[in-house]
Amino acid sequence: MKHALLCLLLSAAAFAQAPQKGIEVSDLNRSVDPCTDFFEYSNGTWRANNPMPASMVRWSRRWQAGETSKEQLKTILDDVSTRKDWPKGSVEQLISDHYGSCMDEARANKLGATPIQPLLAEVDAAKNTADIQRIMRHFHELAINVPFGLTGSSDNHNPTQVIADIYASGLGLPDRDYYSKPEPRFKEAREKYLVHVANMFKLAGASEADAKAAADTVLDMETKLADASLDNVALRDPKATDHKTSFADLQKQTPHIDWVGYFQSGKLSRADLNLQEPKFLKEVDRQLQEVSLANWKTYLKWHLLRSAVGSLSDPFVEESFNFNSKYLGGAKEMKPRWKRCVESTDALLGEALGRKYTEKYFPPEAKARMQDMVKNLLAALGDTIKGLEWMQPDTKKKALEKLATFNPKIGYPDKWKDYSKVKIGRDSFWNNVVAGRGFNVQDDRATIGKPVDRGRWGMTPPTSNAYYNPLLNEIVFPAGILQPPAFSMQNVDAVNYGAIGVVIGHEISHGFDDQGAQYDAQGRLNNWWTESDLKQFQEKGSCVVKQFDSYFIEPGIHHNGKLVLGESIGDLAGAKIAYLAFKKSLEGKPPAPTIDGFTPDQQFFIAWGQFRGDAIRPETQRLMVQSDPHPIGKYRVIGPLSNLPQFKEAFSCKVGSEMVRPPQDRCEVW
């Protein structure tokens, strides 16, 4: 009997069908020529048939998958919550109690702003700037990082070591330009912001007049902080935020900030650190000296309210939604409470929840198939570098050295974070938030002054996203993105390479975009380019800048090519090397099948259009074009593909069609 069972298993494996699933044929809009508008062609019918849910601001199969994974997380949390006797500190106790305390809406509504009363009282009791700074330190321990923040980061010049990194923050509007740009939409945003800040103060008990005055104070202080900070484009240059500074020099540059107190209370090493924006910190120093005690109290209370809003009663939550999600983002409706509670559990206890998630939704076969793709992608970029005509052998050698040190992380960390000491109970949601944030801040600060731990992850496993870290030269793909439509064990290779393959290529190419190319094989911010090669590389980048500058989202508003340069190089090079890797994967195998009349090459490109293309609210589109280094989905499809000769070939597009950039405008970086 035992023997027979074994045979059955063996034969099932021997006759296992190769993956069959091709592109989503029903999503195509075949009334449009793929050579005219590939975005509309590849997913237009899906968008027409699937209107955006009221609570969403972008929508596609991929965003839908992100929401589905929240439902999966909810199922996990609901299951775990049926038992109340989990051992204290166990993963199950922590996530179920946190989720349960968050779901208690009646209690939140009964409490109003009382959960943060002790902190508000602490601010009220401040007698001088020393007290203000003590409160700031306390806030930082709760991840309320205003007006600056401090985190552990690999040293730009010695990336095996973690140092303290001080960065600018403390603004309530999306970025510094919102405070200064004269266009009517920014002026309007400032007016709405004033009303929003005042409304929050009123909810917390301030009179109409006091609330209005508080809003003016907040906008005034933040405007001056914004004026002293770098804009989004300047921030993209890693050299602009690279200022290694000794502790003594930090104190000398900003004499009114009590750094001794800060480092002592945070138990931080006083070794050399990085100061991202010296000019910004000098403005903080000036304000500590010149801004009144009363105004500082107002500023701190505002950021406390803003940061705690999700833990307060419905009127606070609604006020925040109305400004941030509805006015700025265009959402029509708030997400249901359970979704916000799933998100909170992921944000605070991500590797505890992620552990349960990956057990259930991330099979080991998926990891193996991903590893294989990553290997092929790295090899394809290696071939590409070797074949570049414009690059000198010296620079090529360095580029290949860097390529050889790439570290891929797939699915989830090898070693999970230990949350067992975090005090999470069923009764107070805000206390849980404080405990969770406190743990994460300490967990981060504990890395400072030590050798870098390469096992740490910057995203939680359920996250539907991926990243590249130039200092560790690592590409990271959480299990949350390794789901359809990005990736499926059932997909044919053409479709997996066209979707997650391009994402892998994108992340690898970040190592060689305008930022990543400034870091060497060891992760140091260190130029490895010959002067003439660097000049040519930058010219190739200028082509991409020009291309995206020409993409208008509405009259008068177009993409900022310099802002989206890195992401667009990532997509352009990523699509190319994923295509080459797909071809490489077929070596020595039977040809990939034509499915539903589509050749493997056509399937590859359609998969990218179906993964990346999405519907978007006009408000979110405007916000992204202003503040986000990623182009909108439509141009992440059209932008890279219209540069690729392989795309032109696949759909037999004619020179002169919209999806084929004329030879003099065609961009190719790698």
**Contact residues for Zn ion, defined by CB under 5 A:** 567, 570
The dihedral over CA atoms of 366, 367, 369, 373, expressed in degrees to the nearest 10, equals 130
| Smallest separation (angstroms) from Zn ion to the CB of 513 | 8
Between 273 and 403, name the residue whose CB sits nearer to Zn ion.
403
| Smallest separation (angstroms) from Zn ion to the CB of 300 | 34
Collapsing DSSP to helix, strand or coil, 150 comes out as: strand
117-124 and 129-141 helices, crossing angle to 10°: 160
- CA 665 from centre of chain: 31
Between 40 and 567, name the residue whose CB sits nearer to Zn ion.
567
Q: How far is CA 111 from CA 42, 102, 428, in A?
A: 50, 13, 10
d(CA 399, CA 388): 11
Buried b (16+ CB within 10 A) or exposed e, 442-481: eebbebbbeebeeebbebbbbbbebbbbbbbbbbbbbbbb
| Smallest separation (angstroms) from Zn ion to the CB of 322 | 31
| Smallest separation (angstroms) from Zn ion to the CB of 563 | 13
Element at 159 (helix H, strand E) = strand 158-168
Between 77 and 577, name the residue whose CB sits nearer to Zn ion.
577
Torsions phi, psi of 471, nearest 5?
-70, -30
Collapsing DSSP to helix, strand or coil, 163 comes out as: strand
| Smallest separation (angstroms) from Zn ion to the CB of 13 | 38
Between 24 and 567, name the residue whose CB sits nearer to Zn ion.
567
Between 447 and 464, name the residue whose CB sits nearer to Zn ion.
464
Between 501 and 570, name the residue whose CB sits nearer to Zn ion.
570
| Smallest separation (angstroms) from Zn ion to the CB of 98 | 30
Q: Are 143 and 444 in contact (CB under 8 A)?
A: no
d(CA 330, CA 335): 13
d(CA 522, CA 398): 11
| Smallest separation (angstroms) from Zn ion to the CB of 514 | 12
| Smallest separation (angstroms) from Zn ion to the CB of 602 | 25
The identity of residue 353, as a single letter, is L
Task: For tokens 């006091």, name the residue.
Answer: 210
Between 465 and 490, name the residue whose CB sits nearer to Zn ion.
465
| Smallest separation (angstroms) from Zn ion to the CB of 480 | 16
Between 273 and 564, name the residue whose CB sits nearer to Zn ion.
564
Q: Are 424 and 93 in contact (CB under 8 A)?
A: yes
DSSP secondary structure code for residue 507 in this structure: H
Between 462 and 570, name the residue whose CB sits nearer to Zn ion.
570
Structure tokens, 385: 């570098």
d(CA 577, CA 386): 13
Between 22 and 501, name the residue whose CB sits nearer to Zn ion.
501
Non-local (6+) Cβ contacts of 59 within 8 A are 47, 50, 51, 52, 53, 614, 615, 616
Task: Taking the CA atoms of 252, 257, 262 and 264 in sequence, report the sign of the dihedral they define.
Answer: positive
| Smallest separation (angstroms) from Zn ion to the CB of 479 | 19
Between 570 and 609, name the residue whose CB sits nearer to Zn ion.
570
d(CA 618, CA 314): 27
| Smallest separation (angstroms) from Zn ion to the CB of 60 | 17
Torsions phi, psi of 558, nearest 5?
-125, 165
Structure tokens, 238: 């890693």
| Smallest separation (angstroms) from Zn ion to the CB of 467 | 7
d(CA 570, CA 592): 26
Between 485 and 505, name the residue whose CB sits nearer to Zn ion.
505
Tally of CB atoms within 10 A around 570? 29
Between 100 and 570, name the residue whose CB sits nearer to Zn ion.
570
| Smallest separation (angstroms) from Zn ion to the CB of 564 | 10
Between 44 and 523, name the residue whose CB sits nearer to Zn ion.
523
| Smallest separation (angstroms) from Zn ion to the CB of 612 | 12
Q: SS3 breakdown of the chain: % helix, strand, coil, rounded to 5? A: 60, 10, 35
Non-local (6+) Cβ contacts of 217 within 8 A are 295, 298, 299
Q: What is the 3-state secondary structure (H, E, C) of 13-76?
A: HHCCCCCCECCCHHHCCCCCCCCCCHHHHHHHHHHHHCCCCCCCCEECHHHHHHHHHHHHHHHH
Element at 138 (helix H, strand E) = helix 129-141
| Smallest separation (angstroms) from Zn ion to the CB of 635 | 14
Between 97 and 567, name the residue whose CB sits nearer to Zn ion.
567
Cα within 13 Å of Cα(367), Cβ side: 16
Torsions phi, psi of 552, nearest 5?
-90, 140
Between 165 and 567, name the residue whose CB sits nearer to Zn ion.
567
